[in-house]
Amino acid sequence: MVRVTVDPLTRVVGPLRLDTEVDENGIITEARSSNMIFRGFERIYRGQDPRDSILLSQRICGVCPVAHSIAAVNALDDLYGVAESVPKDALVARNINHGLNTISNHLLHFYILWGPDLANPAYGDVLSTFGNLGSSVWKEFLGRFAPISYKIGGESIPPGSSYVGVIPMKKILHDAGAVIGGKMPHQTVMYPGGVTNNPTASDVETMSSIMSEVVDFLNATSIGIPFEEWVGNTYRASSPKKAVDFFIEHLHELTERSLRTNDLSRSNGWGDVELYSALGSELIGEQIMGLPISLKHDNMSGYNDLSKIGFLSYGDFYNVEHEGYEPTSPAGDRFQTSGFMTSSLEYHKFDSAKVTESVKHAFYDDYEGDKHPYEGVTEPFTDPGRIDYQDFSAEKYTWSKAPRYEGIPCEVGPFSRLLIMKEPLVTGLVQLFLDNGYSPFNSFTRMIARMQELFIITNEVIQWITTDLDPNGRFRVDIDMSAAEDSRGMGICEAPRGALGHWVITDNDAKVANYQIVTPSAWNLSPRDSEGVPGPLEHALIGSTISAVDNWLGVDFSNPTGILHVGRSYDPCITCAVHTIDLTGKNPPGMVRLL
């Protein structure tokens, strides 16, 4: 047995440590996920005006700050009792703000945080054994996804065209976020009862122009057919079967056209999504397309015990056909509906009362059993001698708590959201994998779902900007400040990487008595719970191969592509899960200085 550790796994946004044991056949047999720093925002809020949480919580994460502002303002809408009267145009403005940040986040993840792994030299070694076709595939991977300052065997590799091309998209999407949000990141317009700004006709024109540039990028880079044609035949397909039929037929046309010439270039119709769709999956690439090789990402992270995994969505994006919304996010109330899906694909309505957290395996003072966030306690270890990431047998090994839904670990994120909202392409792909004896829960479907959601949200944001947003509309209602005395509120939404919840309780001075945040990375990267059940990422690693293409060229413990792909497919964000710690003893709770 060999111990293989990747630390840090994350390319940006905080350190995630993945510790594994791997057998002599290159199969991961044990895994631990450690988030290396403490968040502590729950302690910062104590004694504060609850309205401060909207601005403070955005400092949790520079990648998805808008999602935290949405969760915080939802909690305050509930706290002040105005959720059901927030004006329709305020909901539209919030949706646009949130959607722009989601698009930006998905582009960042696919092209900057995950895509460079396709240029791993291990794939070059494997593909070189497949003649001209293998060489052509490797040329495309390097030419599109290589990161900056990259070398293989001492030779400098130019940054990939897709990697470089997405950077200006990040900038202009931030520009659009600043138009609707006042500034970006950490926009300033969210307020209980609505938003504080009135968008102008000029703002609408500016955001529309930026979204046209985003669509141009998707057409030129991500997909080889027009964006509208892709969305029309997948997301708007009349059934999952028709969506998958279109998807497979489109890949068939590209494959038949290109196999004769070994030309998988963009000019021959291969967008990044089509290239990964055909080459990333053994089922689709080898079994259905007849290609001699694939990356076999559909053999990774298949959850070997399906009784210990579920799929959760809190629901996201307000229904803008009417004013107000229901804080509990009942089924069908939001554009992406809430729900819980079992591993046997049984749908259940979401009930926020079933969300709990355990600290048994995290660096916090223990409490009895699991607690709902309203009763949550965040008391970190203050003795550094009790914090040890190195001991693989230690009971406590991370700063993340262990969220559970009715006691079940849950994967959250685009795959869960699209599965629960019955999005045609993802639903059809799940059935395709099941019909062919494959697990539908894997790194490949997780990444395809993220890109499909990128296209869907892009389509919806354009609709909200150009059709639903009325600059002459009503954008706020007044709040009764006394409503915050001895009150409480829940704010739930979906950050780009998954379910995000804020729970706040106030005292008789209308100040925060308790504030708890349950983030998507806490769900996906959680440690074992009070029953010893691994979190989703830990579970997904067990049984996966350590090296490229199912250990095609043997086991290479020094280049664990299996850990890299499985871990990064969840879009891990540790600043969301954990943050800072003060061990000096000089600052009591509530007095931590923000930098």
Annotated binding site for Ni(2+): 61, 64, 573
- Can you spell out the DSSP letters for 79-140? HTT-GGG--HHHHHHHHHHHHHHHHHHHHHIIIIIIGGGGG-HHHHHHHGGGHHHHHHHHHH
For 37-48, letters b (16+ CB in 10 Å) and e give ebbbbbbbbbee
H-assigned helices in 280-423: 414-420
Binding site for Fe cation: what residues are annotated? 64, 576
Query: Angle at CA 566, nearest 5°, toward 562 and 570?
Result: 160
d(Cα 316, Cα 98) in Å, to the nearest integer? 10
Task: Determine the distance from the C-alpha atom of residue 508 to the mean position of all C-alpha atoms in its chain, rounded to a whole number.
Answer: 37
Binding-site entries:
42, 61, 64, 517, 573, 576, 579
Q: What gap in Å lies between CA 192 and CA 442, rounded to an integer?
A: 39
Q: Which residues are annotated as a binding site for Mg(2+)?
A: 42, 517, 579
d(C-alpha 437, C-alpha 448), whole Å: 19
The two beta strands, 512-518 and 498-506, are antiparallel
What is the spatial distance between Cα 444 and Cα 423, in angstroms, rounded to a whole number? 17
Q: Is the peptide bond before 8 cis (omega within 30 degrees of 0)?
A: yes
CA distances from 273 to 8, 212, 248, 310, 448 (A): 27, 20, 13, 27, 8
How many C-beta atoms lie closer than 10 Å to residue 294's C-beta? 23
User: How big is the chain, counted in residues?
Assistant: 595
- Nearest residue to 436 (alpha-carbon basis) of 299, 574, 280, 278: 299
Question: Residue 146, Cα to own-chain centre: how many angstroms?
Answer: 22
Q: Measure the CA–CA gap between 423 and 427, rounded to whole angstroms.
A: 6
Query: In terms of Cα–Cα distance, which of 288, 404, 433, 378 is closest to 589?
Result: 378
What's at 258, amino acid-wise? S
Compute the distance between CA of residue 533 and CA of residue 563 in angstroms, rounded to an integer. 20
